[in-house]
């Protein structure tokens, strides 16, 4: 038995999340995608269940679940709707710098509101010239007596315009050591939401620019000390990359289940080449299970504070998201022309799958990180 065999409680937890996702999301997924909805009534149901505060410690009113359990939950949601898995996932990303770098006062001010779903969070890291290479970010934070003055532009920010609070990275000095983390309240004077993106997929997750013009952030909203921002970002990514892997496993499973059902129900139509379909299904199942095991193993290592958790996080994100994309391509092929229409959800899953290979560091960047860990440079 592996070290991470699911307990009865975890199986029950995953089933409850899946039941919730099927009940509240499945009837809405078509509209969420077509109309780009961020449905507050579903967010409230997620909050009531605890999903929006799944990673918030219990003492602040959250579920206090570890990464392994968060991955389990996110996998279930993504199997129905990837935008919805992002509602949960991005909220965790925005929370983590505060959880890892915030002081007691900051935590008691924000965490209970995040746990209750009253505050949605966002991650404001990427800039037009800094995404893959975060260390080249330009947004400046200049210290005045009791506050910082922030100027710059953040782009591709999930939950832009929805979040009540963002985790922000800005430059207080030179180089990697000059990056500092801040809590950025959405109503801070000088902060505005810029262009919103029209996207290929995950249309229920809103993405846009944040413009910071002489934005005054009080000193008390700094996370940790000056220069600790890059460390906060890495801490977040070690947690969120397996989470993207879990989104990918869920997505791939969702697509696979549709394809299996389609193959069973259309055996006669597929009969001239059913042998081929059979083995394609087998191949999809093998790859999904491989991706799941790597994501679970990585979450287990990260939860136990293993020194290689960062490398495994990149491996899990990269492998699982590549598998999800390949499984979608195979699924659409099995459906043939029908798979290319929006009558079947495989088309939506395929559009959604692409983003998983891009955000939280593209899969090329994951390979750079893994190679560095292997070769030591």
Ligand X SMILES: Cc1cc2nc3c(=O)[nH]c(=O)nc-3n(C[C@H](O)[C@H](O)[C@H](O)COP(=O)(O)OP(=O)(O)OC[C@H]3O[C@@H](n4cnc5c(N)ncnc54)[C@H](O)[C@@H]3O)c2cc1C
Among 103, 304, 308, 364, binds ligand X (CB under 6 A): 364
Is 262 buried (19+), middle (13-18) or exposed (0-12) by CB count in 10 A?
buried
Catalytic residue among 228, 330, 347, 360: 360
Among 37, 368, 370, 373, binds ligand X (CB under 6 A): 368
- What is the crossing angle of helices 229-265 and 82-101, to 10°? 160
CA pair distance 195, 210, nearest whole angstrom = 8
Is there binding between residue 234 and ligand X (CB under 6 A)? no
Considering the complex, what minimum distance in angstroms separates the CB of residue 208 from ligand X?
10
Considering the complex, what minimum distance in angstroms separates the CB of residue 317 from ligand X?
11
Among 98, 157, 302, 324, binds ligand X (CB under 6 A): 157
Is 19 buried (19+), middle (13-18) or exposed (0-12) by CB count in 10 A?
exposed
Stretch that binds ligand X, among 228-236, 283-291, 341-349, 356-364 (CB under 6 A): 356-364
Best CA proximity match to 229, nearest among 188, 174, 184, 171: 171
Stretch that binds ligand X, among 240-248, 254-262, 277-285, 362-370 (CB under 6 A): 362-370
Is there binding between residue 318 and ligand X (CB under 6 A)? no
Per CB under 6 A, which of residues 79..138 are in contact with ligand X?
90, 122-126, 131-132
Closest-by-Cβ residue to ligand X is 131
Residues 6+ apart with CB under 8 A from 173: 226, 227
Among 207, 247, 259, 313, binds ligand X (CB under 6 A): 207
Among 6, 37, 285, 365, binds ligand X (CB under 6 A): 365
Strands (E), the chain: 121-124, 140-143, 147-158, 165-171, 179-185, 191-196, 207-218, 222-223
Best CA proximity match to 2, nearest among 374, 293, 205: 293
Calculated CA dihedral for residues 315, 319, 322, 325, nearest 10 degrees: -130
- Is residue 289 part of the annotated active site? The answer reads no
Which residue(s) pair with 223 in the sheet? 181
Applying CB under 6 A, the site for ligand X has a residue count of: 23
> Which residues lie near ligand X (CB under 6 A)?
90, 122-126, 131-132, 156-158, 199, 202, 207, 355, 358-362, 364-365, 368
Catalytic annotation, residues:
360
């Amino acid at each position: 038995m592996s070290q991470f065999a699911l307990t009865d409680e975890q199986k029950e937890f995953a089933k409850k999340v899946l039941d919730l996702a099927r009940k509240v999301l499945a009837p809405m997924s078509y509209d969420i995608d077509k109309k780009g909805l961020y449905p507050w009534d579903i967010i409230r149901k997620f909050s009531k269940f605890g999903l929006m505060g799944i990673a918030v410690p219990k003492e602040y009113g959250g579920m206090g679940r570890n990464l392994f359990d968060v991955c389990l939950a996110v996998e279930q949601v993504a199997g129905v709707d990837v935008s919805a898995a992002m509602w949960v996932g991005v909220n965790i990303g925005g929370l983590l710098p505060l959880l890892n770098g915030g002081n007691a006062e900051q935590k008691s001010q924000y965490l209970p509101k995040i746990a209750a779903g009253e505050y949605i969070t966002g991650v404001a890291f990427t800039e037009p010239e800094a995404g893959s290479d975060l260390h080249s970010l330009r947004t400046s934070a200049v210290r005045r007596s009791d506050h910082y003055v922030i100027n710059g532009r953040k782009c591709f920010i999930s939950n832009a315009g929805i979040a009540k609070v963002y985790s922000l990275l800005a430059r207080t000095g030179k180089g990697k050591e000059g990056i500092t983390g801040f809590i950025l309240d959405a109503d801070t004077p000088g902060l505005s939401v810029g262009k919103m993106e029209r996207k290929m997929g995950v249309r229920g997750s809103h993405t846009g620019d944040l413009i910071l013009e002489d934005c005054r952030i009080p000193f008390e909203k700094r996370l940790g000390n000056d220069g600790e921002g890059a460390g906060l970002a890495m801490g977040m990514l070690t947690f969120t990359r397996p989470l993207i892997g879990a989104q990918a496993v869920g997505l791939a499973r969702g697509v696979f289940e549709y394809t299996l059902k389609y193959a069973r129900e259309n055996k006669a139509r597929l009969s001239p080449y059913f042998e081929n379909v059979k083995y394609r299904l087998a191949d999809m199942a093998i790859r999904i299970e491989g991706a799941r095991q790597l994501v679970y193993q990585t979450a287990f290592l990260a939860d136990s504070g293993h020194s290689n958790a960062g490398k495994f996080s990149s491996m899990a994100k990269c492998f699982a998201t590549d598998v999800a994309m390949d499984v979608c391509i195979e699924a659409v092929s099995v459906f043939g022309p029908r798979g290319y229409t929006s009558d079947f959800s495989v088309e939506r899953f395929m559009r959604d799958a692409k983003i998983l290979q891009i955000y939280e560091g593209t899969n090329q960047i994951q390979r750079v990180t893994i190679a560095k860990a292997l070769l030591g440079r």
